[in-house]
């Protein structure tokens, strides 16, 4: 059974996968869908069943209005 992962809206994503009792994080460009995630990770020699989660790369997240409002007081 294939898992459906939620793909974050950042430019890059961090894929956490598990093999030999060890978690590993891999930074990849944001895939368009779960099938592209599977194919990209297969190219990295990681099977779909080894993927545990997909997280946003915080450095490439687009700025939100909340982020901009928190910085507004610095320019007043």
* pLDDT at position 66: 64
In whole angstroms, give the CA distance from residue 18 to residue 29: 20
Length of the chain equals: 76
pLDDT at 50: 96
| Chain centroid offset of residue 9 CA | 8
Tokens of 61: 């997240």
Nearest residue to 8 (alpha-carbon basis) of 51, 48, 50, 60? 60
Q: What is d(CA 75, CA 72) in angstroms, rounded to the nearest whole number?
A: 6
pLDDT the model gives residue 69:
64
Instruction: Name the stretches of the chain with pLDDT < 70.
Output: 1, 63, 65-76
pLDDT given at position 31: 96
């Amino acid at each position: 059974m294939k898992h459906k992962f939620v793909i974050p809206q950042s430019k890059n994503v961090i894929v956490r996968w598990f093999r030999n009792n060890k978690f590993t994080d891999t930074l990849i460009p944001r895939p368009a869908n779960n099938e592209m995630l599977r194919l990209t990770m297969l190219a990295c020699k990681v099977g779909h069943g080894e993927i545990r989660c997909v997280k946003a790369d915080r450095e490439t997240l687009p700025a939100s209005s909340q982020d901009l409002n928190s910085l507004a007081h610095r320019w007043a």
